[in-house]
Structure 1
Amino acid sequence: MTTEHFWTGLVDDAAVFPPGDADLTTAVRAYVDRTGEPAALVGSFVLRDTDLPALPAGFSGPVTVVVTGGAGQLAGPAALCGKRGLALAGLDVALRDLDDPAGNARRVVAAVDAARAEGVLAEDVPVHVELPQSETSYAWLAAADEVAAAELRLKLRTGGLDAHQVPSPALLASWVDAALDRETPFRCTAGLHRALRHTGDDGVDRHGFLNLLTATRRAFDGASTAEVVATLEDRDLQPDVAELAGARRWFTSFGSCSIDEPMADIRALGLA
């Protein structure tokens, strides 16, 4: 990756998820037909495991599959991708046991190990584990430890349809710090349609993906918690391309139901 194209593969096409809720066939067609810079911006096509059987014939991916069940349902989607000849870019699985997230994480790790041993999940396919959208308590950090020890990755939920689904800058900063402290790459989901922090049409303050990239790099370079939070809150951030590119080692991508909005902001800021 070059500093001129820090945004290559930054956005995973999640058009079939809210609030886009695009029809699967329509979304696949748009993904395949995309050209030029918007095509370079996009990495994988994101879909639920329940959508896999309905994928149009001839589509080969790459796909990121969101596992809708628990750890025990992880191998099935991976095997189906293999049977269909789909390039599997990654699996996403959320922890559901909020009383024992570390134990839940261990069950995910065991399921991943079993799927790799059976040959249905390649060793180089990343598995992202979504931790609870809560404070970085002892239990939360213990779950992150399990993910990191198994060399899996984290998934951070940065927004949603409702205000309560948007983590505060301080909470998001603590998640990033936890990931970096464990040298664990992460991808994000929801709410990062725009480059810079802003207030949406619904009156809810939303995070910007360039704020998060910059904050990640600055945190890695030793910035204080207050400085990282201030970066996430900066609505007039002047992006530094070297910082943005350097962050991609850790903040690898984010899912978005819109590709036009991220691309438009990147262009408006003179970064493409």
Structure 2
Amino acid sequence: MSALPSGGVIPELFRELFDDAAVFPPGNLPVVEAVPAHRAHRAAWYAEAVGPFLCGAGRLGELAAAVSTADTDGGTAGADGSAVAGDRPLKVGLVLPGGSTELAPALAAAAPFELAGVELATRDAAEAVAALDRLLPPDVPAAVELPRELLRGDGLDAVLDALVDSPYRAKFRTGGLVAEAFPDEDELAAFLTGCARRGLPYKCTAGLHNAVRHTDPETGFEHHGFLNVLLAAQETDRAAAAAVLAERDGEVLAKAVRSLTDRQVTVIRNSFTAFGTCSIAEPLGDLAALGLLSSPSPLHQEDR
């Protein structure tokens, strides 16, 4: 990546990195507003950076109604009646916080959409893998999330070992609405390097919508930066990964990104596949400010 692409071209490192979690905290955008906003993202110059629209299982009916309303107000629908974003079916990532019991009914309720993936929260990785094997269509990817307290000490190895021989990714929560929801550098480094040593891909969620590690001035929460995580994803040594995660100088991180080879970018993105963010404009704005993304036009508030 020594030469970044010209304006309006999304570098490979950032393609489909930002899953649209606008309806989740702390954004909490109403679904009826989030649908047209997502469609706008998918039609914008930065569309290649945007992943699927994330929706909880309990809100699929609300999502279907919002899509229907948008279609009535000037959107389009597929020939088979499927929900369409622009001229394509709405890609939905299904988030199942209630575990595998939600899987079958949620898959049925998601039928009007193009199912881009499933994110299943569980306390039993082996049970979750078995449920996904049994119920998930073979062309649909999935990620399995366990509570962080089960990923400490020997628990981390046991969970990752349960996933490594499956076709599913791991999912790790990097933030939330309280300070305790944010793992420190060492805890996150243990997860990243555990996955790296096993060749296990993963996604992250919460608290990562800024590029660089920082302390939120309003809440005092310690946020990881998504650039830190991207660069740490290539590390197999826990201390080295923790050092990258602790870096707070954006220019240092930007320089490291610019020095990445194509092979390193491939290794990184085969590991760290995506993260959920309630804002699409914020991470893009951070990349532009660091000179890592050149936009053909400024990012406006309405792009959020």
Pairwise CA distance, 1:233: 0.6
8 Å Cα contact 2:16/2:48 also seen in 1: yes
**In the alignment, residue 129 of structure 1 is paired with which amino acid?**
V
Unaligned runs of 5+ in 2: 6-10, 69-82, 294-304
Pairwise CA distance, 1:3: 7.2
**Of residues 76, 91, 98 in structure 2, which corresponds to 1:62?**
91
Where does 1:95-244 land on structure 2 (aligned, <5 Å)? 95=122, 97=123, 104-115=124-135, 121-134=136-149, 135-201=151-217, 202-217=219-234, 219=235, 222=236, 224-236=237-249, 237=253, 238-241=255-258, 242=260, 243-244=264-265
How far apart, CA to CA, are the structure 2 residues paired with 1:212 and 1:3? 20
Q: Secondary structure at the match of 1:253?
A: strand
Give TM-score scaled by structure 2 length: 0.78
Partner of 1:11: 18
**Of residues 73, 78, 86 in structure 1, which corresponds to 2:102?**
73
Q: Percent identity?
A: 39
Q: Secondary structure at the match of 2:14?
A: coil
Q: 1:65-115 CA distances to partner (integer Å, 9 max, x unpaired)?
A: 101322122122223323x1x1111101112x3xxxxxx212111211211
How far apart, CA to CA, are the structure 2 residues paired with 1:53 and 1:271? 39
How far apart, CA to CA, are the structure 2 residues paired with 1:26 and 1:227? 42
8 Å Cα contact 1:75/1:111 also seen in 2: no
Does residue 92 in structure 1 map to residue 119 in structure 2? yes
**In the alignment, residue 105 of structure 1 is paired with which amino acid?**
A
Pairwise CA distance, 1:36: 3.0
Partner of 2:284: 263
How far apart, CA to CA, are the structure 2 residues paired with 1:48 and 1:41? 22
8 Å Cα contact 2:4/2:292 also seen in 1: no
Give TM-score scaled by structure 1 length: 0.87
How far apart, CA to CA, are the structure 2 residues paired with 1:186 and 1:39? 22
Does residue 51 in structure 1 map to residue 64 in structure 2? no
**In the alignment, residue 65 of structure 1 is paired with which amino acid?**
L
How far apart, CA to CA, are the structure 2 residues paired with 1:196 and 1:150? 32
Pairwise CA distance, 1:184: 1.1
Superposed CA RMSD in Å reads: 1.9
8 Å Cα contact 2:57/2:102 also seen in 1: no
How far apart, CA to CA, are the structure 2 residues paired with 1:141 and 1:154? 12
Q: Secondary structure at the match of 1:266?
A: helix
Partner of 2:72: none
Partner of 2:80: none
Closer/same/farther in 2, CA of residues 64 and 137 from structure 1, 3 Å limit: same
Unaligned runs of 5+ in 1: 98-103, 116-120
How far apart, CA to CA, are the structure 2 residues paired with 1:164 and 1:186? 22
Pairwise CA distance, 1:245: 5.3
Q: 1:241-271 CA distances to partner (integer Å, 9 max, x unpaired)?
A: 4345541111000000011110100111111
Closer/same/farther in 2, CA of residues 192 and 151 from structure 1, 3 Å limit: same
Pairwise CA distance, 1:215: 0.7
The alignment covers a number of residue pairs equal to 254
**Stretch deviating more after TM superposition (43-52 or 68-77):** 68-77
Pairwise CA distance, 1:149: 2.0
Partner of 2:299: none
8 Å Cα contact 1:155/1:188 also seen in 2: yes
**Stretch deviating more after TM superposition (230-239 or 30-39):** 30-39
How far apart, CA to CA, are the structure 1 residues paired with 2:154 and 2:243? 25
8 Å Cα contact 2:26/2:177 also seen in 1: yes
Partner of 1:251: 272
**In the alignment, residue 125 of structure 1 is paired with which amino acid?**
V
